Amino acid sequence: MTTASDRQRIWLTGATSGIGRALAERLLDDGHRVALSARSESALGELAAGRDNALLLPLDVSDHQAVQRAGERLGEAFGGLDLVILNAGTCEYLDARDFDVDLVERVFAPNFFGAVYGVEAALPLLRRARAEGGRPLLAATSSAAAYLPLPRAEAYGASKAALSHFLESLRLDLDAEGIDVSLIHPGFVKTPLTDRNDFAMPMRVSVDEAATAILDGLAKRRLDINFPRRFTLLVRLMGILPPRLRHRLGLRMTRQDTPSESRS
């Protein structure tokens, strides 16, 4: 049971669907003061109904000014932040035969730049918590796709790899300030987003299993929270293979349909 002294001030983005919703429900049930962000104000209201420890901050994380305003409101409401979980994101797959740079930009907007905007807004509030004597934690949801280039994942995988690299670098620079950084690298999780996938998803886990793994990893302040472990270990091992062998394995995962078949 969470005691009053254990209760944290938390900001969670992507809070109304999938992993984010499961995390939101658990954190609110545990009595933490949680600022919930997502694009849909009505979905946020439904999630927070009857919970006086929820603060609703509807926003599109790819809107820089909106994220800045959210940070200002958080400062007014909470003073500081003990935990930030930048979880909002999207996924679209690229067909190289019909290259679409707009798709790449759409994916990078929330997955990478939205997280960077969140970091900018959250850092002053994490520093406030540190000045109060706490040990604040910044976390973000990347993906196991960041470990290994995969077919059609040019946009999604690159956005998550960029996020992982950015936060691993930031972790080094924030260490002296006493602000920790955790990266979350899930494998396949059953969410509305993955329900749209048209390929096999080995070892897919439920959102409840994902939330348990994430919250356990955050409590232990793990640098890299990855799950399910067998799947992420396999992907990481494939990612460090010699380039030629990694290329051959990747080719086995590419689609063999013709351009006309792929557009039917």
Instruction: Write the CB contacts of 134 (distance below 8 Å, at least 6 apart in sequence).
Output: 80, 82
Element (H, E) at 10: strand 9-13
Q: Domains in the chain: how many in total?
A: 1
The answer to the question of residue 174 being in a domain is: yes
Angle at 248 between CA 226 and CA 142, to 5 degrees: 20
Indicate the SS3 state at residue 224. strand
Q: How far apart are CA 48 and CA 59, in angstroms?
A: 16
Asked if residue 262 is part of any domain, the answer here is no
| Active-site residue flag, 156 | yes
Rounded to whole angstroms, how far apart are CA atoms 6 and 30? 10
Q: Is residue 24 part of a domain?
A: yes
Query: For residues 41 and 58, what is the distance between their CA atoms, to the nearest angstrom?
Result: 5
Instruction: Answer for the pair 83, 139: CB distance below 8 angstroms, yes or no.
Output: yes
Could you tell me if residue 261 is inside a domain? Answer: no
The answer to whether residue 248 sits within a structural domain is: yes
- Domain membership of residue 151 (yes or no) is yes
pLDDT tens, N- to C-terminus, the chain (264 residues): 455 558 999 999 999 999 999 999 999 999 999 999 999 999 999 999 999 999 999 999 999 999 999 999 999 999 999 999 999 999 999 999 999 999 999 999 999 999 999 999 999 999 999 999 999 999 999 999 999 998 999 999 999 999 999 999 999 999 999 999 999 999 988 888 787 877 777 888 899 999 999 999 999 999 999 999 998 999 998 899 899 988 888 888 886 543 332 321
Does residue 260 sit within a domain?
no
Of 93, 117, 147, 156, the active-site residue reads 156
70 φ, ψ (degrees, to nearest 5): -60, -40
Query: Domain for residue 57, yes or no?
Result: yes
User: How many CB atoms within 10 Å of residue 82?
Assistant: 22
Written as six digits, the tokens of 118 are 């969140």
Host domain of residue 170: 4-254
pTM higher than the cut 0.85: yes
Task: Give me the CATH number covering residue 108.
Answer: 3.40.50.720
